[in-house]
Chains A and B, each alone.
Chain A
Amino acid sequence: MADDFVRRTGGADWVPYWAAARARELRFQRCRDCGRWRHPPGPMCPQCNSMQSEWAQASGRARLLSWVVCHPPVLPAWKDRVPYPVVLVECEEGVRTIGGLLGATAEDLRMDMPLVVDFAPSIDGDLVPQWRPG
C-alpha cells in the first residue's frame, strides 16, 4: 500500500491542518491582523496582506455544496473502495473544504443539507476530516 499511495502534506502551509485532524480537531488558518478565515491555507492574507496567522478551531458545522461518487478507474490504492463519495462543504466560518462521507450514502445527500465534521482514517491510516449528516 505504501507504494500505491504517497501522503501529500502539501508542504509547510498544510502541516497544522493535518496535525489538528490527527488530534480530532478541525482548524483553519485565520489572519492575526484582520481576523479573516482562509482555506486552503497560504502564506499571506488576501484581504490585508498580513503574513501573521494562527490556526483557530472551527465549529465543525457546514452545509453541503456539492458531491461526486468516484467509480473506476481510480488510483490502485483506492480500487477496493469504489464507488466512494467525496463532498464539498462550506463551513460556518465561510471557508470551503472537502472530505469523505460518513454515516450516510450518496443517495441520502441533498444540496445545502447540514453536515458536521468527524474524523476517520484516510487510506494511509492517518485521521483526516470527514463529514456526516448533522
Chain B
Amino acid sequence: MSLRDRAAIVGVGQLPFSKDIGRPEEVTALEASRLALEDAGLRPSDIDGMMKWSIQLTSENAIARSLGVPNLRFFGEVGYGGGGGCGVVGHAAAGIAAGMARCVLVYRSRNRGSGGRPWAGTSRERDNIAAETNETALFSPYGFVRPVDQVALFARRFLHERGYTSRHLGWIAAACRRHASNNPIAMMREPITVEDHQRSRMISDPLRLLDCCLETDGAAAVIVASAEMARDLRQKPAYIMGASQGMGPRNWTMNNYFKDPLLESPGAYAARDVWNMSGVKPQDVDVAQLYDAFTPLVLGSLEEYGFCNPGEAGGFVEDHGLELGGRLPTNTSGGSLSEAYVHGINLIIEATRQIRGTSLNQVPDARLSLVTSGNMVPTGALLLRGD
C-alpha cells in the first residue's frame, strides 16, 4: 500500500511577504489558515488534522482553538527547518491514507525579517543559536556558525569536483529573479544578470550576497484532503502522487561533511523514493520548485533528482534550463532566493498553482509538478499531479 493519489492539496493561502509584518506569528498563521480555508471552500469544522514544522512555535492547539476546530484526531510535526516542508505535507497525506484524518491543515509563519540575524547581534533567536548542542560544538570555536558558511564549505568542494563555477550559481540567482519580477508579493523583483551576481559582495567565499535567500516575515497555509473529499471542492485538486523523506547515513544537520560519499546529500535518498512511489521519471516532470536557500543546493538537486548527470548541471542552468520556456522551469514564483524564505511552504504553494493553471509564470498544460525540501539537512520531496 502506498499513499499515491490518496490525498490532494485542495487549499492554499499566503499573506504578502515583508521585512516586518507587524504582528505575531500566531496571528499571521491564523490569517493564512483562514485564507487557505476560503480558497478550498471549507470551514474550520472540516479540519480534523494538523501538521507543522517542529520549529514553528505556534502550536496546533493554539491554531485549533482560535479557528474553532472541534477536534483534531491527527497532528504532528517534522523537524529540520527547510528540510521539513515536503515531509510535513507528506505526513498529512500519510495520515489521510491511513484513515487517521480526512482534512489536514499545514501552516508556517515566521518573523525572521523583523526578528534579525544572530550574526548581526540583533536576533531574538540568539539564545537558540548559542545553545550548547552536540551538532554545533565543533564549529563555534572557529566562528563558523552561519548557514551560508555551512553551505559554502560543502559548495567549494562540490564546484571543484564537478567543474562548476560561481557564474553557474549566478545563472540560478538570475532565473529565480526573472520569475519573481512579475510577482507582486515577491521580496525582490528587480531583474539581475550573472554580472550583477558576480559583482555582489562576498559573504562566505565562494558564496556571494546573491547566492543567499531572503530574511522574510511571512505566513502561509496549505490544506490537504482525501482524494474523495477533494473531488467536490472549489479548486482543481493537486493530487499527491509521490511523497518521500530522506536522511542518508551519518547525517549532521547543515554540517553534513562526515558521511561518504562526501558530496551525496539527503536529497539523493528522497529522490529515489519519490520517483519509486509515483512511478514518474524525471524527464516527465513539467515544472519544479527546487529548494534554494542558497544557489548551490539547486545544482545538487538537478543532479540528484536525475534532471542531468553529475557535472552537467552547470550547462543546464547556463542554457536557461531553469527559466520559463527552458528544459525545467524552476522556482517559478521566484523561490527562496527572490520571492521569500519561509522554509519552502511558498514552493509547495507555487507547485500547487502550477497544477491549477494559476501561476503568474504558468507552464502551459503543467501536469506533473515536483517540490523538494532543503538538502543540507534531512529532507523530503513531493510530486503533485493534475488530472
A interface with B by C-beta (< 8 Å): 4, 6-11, 13-14, 39-40, 42, 46, 65-71, 73-78, 81, 83-84, 86, 88, 95-100, 106, 111, 122-124, 126, 128
Q: What are 26 A-B contacts defined by CB distance under 8 Å?
A: A4-B121, A8-B130, A8-B141, A9-B132, A9-B137, A13-B134, A42-B134, A65-B262, A66-B154, A66-B156, A66-B160, A68-B149, A68-B207, A69-B204, A71-B202, A71-B203, A75-B119, A84-B143, A86-B142, A96-B257, A98-B138, A99-B142, A111-B157, A111-B160, A124-B141, A126-B141
Q: Return A10 CB to nearest CB of chain B, in Å.
A: 2
Interface residues of B in 140-183 (CB under 8 A from A): 140-146, 149, 152-154, 156-157, 160
Q: A8-B130, A11-B132, A69-B205 are in contact. Are A86 and B141 (CB under 8 A)?
A: no
Q: A8-B131, A68-B144 are in contact. List 11 more A-B contacts (CB 8 A).
A: A4-B121, A6-B132, A8-B141, A10-B132, A10-B135, A71-B203, A71-B204, A74-B146, A81-B143, A83-B205, A97-B138
In the bound complex, CA of A126 to CA of B137 (Å): 14
Residue B362 at the chain A interface, CB threshold 8 Å: no
Which A residue's beta carbon lies closest to that of B120? A73
Is B359 close to A, CB under 8 A?
no
Nearest-CB residue, chain B, relative to A39: B258
Looking at the assembled complex, report how far the CB atom of B374 sits from the nearest CB atom of chain A, in whole angstroms: 19
Asked if residues B141 and A73 are in contact (CB atoms below 8 Å), the reply is no
How far apart are A5's CB and chain B's nearest CB, in angstroms? Answer: 8
Given the known interface contacts A73-B117, A86-B144, A96-B258, the answer about A68 and B137 at a Cβ–Cβ threshold of 8 Å is no
* 0/1 string, B194-208, CB within 8 A of A gives 1: 000000011111110
CA distance A128 to B138 in the complex (A): 10
Residue of A nearest to B250 (CB): A46
Q: CA of A123 to CA of B144 in the docked complex: distance in angstroms?
A: 12
Across the interface, name the chain B residue whose C-beta is closest to A77. Answer: B143
A6 nearest CB neighbor, chain B only: B130
Residues on A with C-beta less than 8 A from B118 are 75
A10, B137: Cβ atoms under 8 Å?
Answer: yes
A96 to B258, CA, bound (A): 6
Q: Does B307 contact A (CB under 8 A)?
A: no
Partner of A11, one of B134, B202, B203: B134
Q: Are A40 and B134 in contact (CB under 8 A)?
A: yes
Closest chain-B Cβ to A79's Cβ sits at a distance in Å of: 9
Nearest-CB distance from B162 to chain A (Å)? 13
Taken together as a complex, chains A and B put the C-alpha atoms of A10 and B146 apart, in Å, by: 17
Are A98 and B142 neighbours in the complex by a CB distance under 8 Å? yes
Pick the residue among A6, A88, A106 that contacts B257 (CB under 8 A): A88
Q: Which residues of A contact B133 (CB under 8 A)?
A: 8, 10-11
- Contacting residue for B153 out of A7, A9, A68, CB 8 A: A68
Is A122 within 8 A of B141, CB to CB?
A: yes
Cα–Cα distance between A23 and B121 once the two chains are bound (Å): 33
Contact of A8 among B136, B146, B207, B258 (CB under 8 A): B136
Instruction: Specify which chain B residues have a CB less than 8 angstroms from the CB of A100 in the assembled complex.
Output: 142
Instruction: Name the contact of B206 in the complex, choosing from A4, A13, A68, A96 (C-beta under 8 A).
Output: A68
B137–A86 touching, CB < 8 Å: no
B143 touches A70 (CB 8 A): yes
Q: Which of B120, B153, B252 contacts A40 (CB 8 A)?
A: B252
> For A126, what are the chain B residues with a Cβ–Cβ distance below 8 Å?
141
Q: In the bound complex, do residue B137 and residue A98 qualify as a contact, i.e. CB atoms below 8 Å apart?
A: no
Taking CB atoms, residues of chain B closer than 8 Å to A40 are 134, 137-138, 252, 258
Min CB gap B112→A, angstroms:
15
